[in-house]
Chain A
């Protein structure tokens, strides 16, 4: 019994310890605003984590928008409320699916890559050689990647939202034949810029913070072995996915909860 309690204590302390190290890492890396030469590094990282994620984001967004329109249409048509397809689709995408799915895809596509890259740099002692040359790896490696994630995820979310709504239009209006006038005017009537669009973007910024933070820390903290790296990559995806979904619930509660 005491052993179990002790195990719990050890677990908790380990967890607290790594949370502390992660916070210190993040704070140290983000303490300085990037200077001009830092911007080039950030641009390169945006290319890798943002631009190269475009294909997967656009494809998933289109399918999700199409599927939502199809489901909404078939159900709503039974009540003769096909006009509500537009507003339903837009609200679901802007409020929940856009930010959440983008962040999940980003964690899988870019987060794991970040962990693997930084972990490998550490394993092959590139980070320590940098320190030896007087280059701070936090500023040179970690900070640009965090900034790139923070910039890329909201942009990817905006693109995801747009493409998903376009996918919904293609299926709902062009294919199934919902009335385009009712579709768009219902959407414009029901969607509020602050309530839906801005709050969705706030969500995506928070997710960006979580994903890049977890990814960078897991890479930086990974044991320098092949096994440690594979564990760290897996952990990045698992932890950030769970964090995204849990935080999403909390933020929805705060933003839209009626209390």
Chain B
């Protein structure tokens, strides 16, 4: 086999590999070149996060506006501290924003839903969302239900 044919084939082979990688990165992983967006951190305390994970969605009105960065437990108060990264500059969430832990569908993943408040002041980087509602845990609900039946 002549060296020329071999070199052309190998060049085409490497090129095909590079094109495949670009396709995988852009079309399959959905990387946007303009994805370098600013974000700031907001924390919230929940009495129960029940299956919320790091990197879960943070959404407002069903639109994703951030991700959960980390979840820690506060041993002293027995609640969970969730740190979220909110896209954009500080100043797009009011101080009386409330946070709820919700579930996508019946079996879906847990995510945090934010509802806007009416306050004039806004949350800065590192501020805390005070008004929170933890996840609904089915076992607790059933337990409450049974005790109530027992009482009546």
Contacts and interface: CB of A to CB of B under 8 A. Distances in A.
A161 to B, nearest CB: 6
B13 A197 contact: no
A193 B23 contact: no
B7 interface: yes
A187 B24 contact: no
A247 B21 CA distance: 23
A189 B109 CA distance: 14
Contacts of B31: 193
Contact of B10 (A50, A154, A156, A158): A50
Interface string B3-23: 100110110111011001101
What is the interface of chain B mostly: helix, strand, loop, or mixed? helix
Interface residues of A, number: 30
Interface size on B, as a range, is 20 to 34
B76 interface: no
A187 B28 CA distance: 6
Contact of A191 (B3, B6, B23, B28): B28
A188 interface: yes
B17 to A, nearest CB: 3
Given A158-B17, A197-B24, A43 B29 contact: no
Nearest to A148: B10
Given A44-B6, A47-B6, A158-B20, A94 B13 contact: no
What is the interface of chain A mostly: helix, strand, loop, or mixed? helix
Given A44-B6, A51-B9, A155-B13, A161 B29 contact: no
Given A47-B6, A51-B9, A187 B21 contact: no
B10 A197 contact: no
Contacts, number: 70
Contacts of B17: 154-156, 158-159
A238 interface: no
A72 interface: no
Contact of B14 (A155, A165, A191, A197): A155
A188 B28 contact: yes
B25 interface: yes
Interface string A93-130: 01000000000000000000000000000000000000
B28 A159 contact: no
Nearest to A89: B28
Given A158-B20, A158-B21, A197-B25, A189 B30 contact: yes
Contact of B13 (A50, A161, A189, A193): A50
A218 interface: no
A158 B7 contact: no
Contacts of B23: 162
A196 B29 CA distance: 8
A94 B17 CA distance: 15
Interface of B: 1, 3, 6-7, 9-10, 12-14, 16-17, 20-21, 23-25, 27-31
11 contacts: A46-B14, A47-B6, A47-B13, A50-B13, A51-B13, A94-B24, A159-B20, A161-B28, A184-B27, A189-B30, A197-B25
Given A54-B13, A159-B20, A187-B30, 6 more contacts: A47-B6, A51-B12, A94-B28, A154-B17, A197-B25, A197-B28
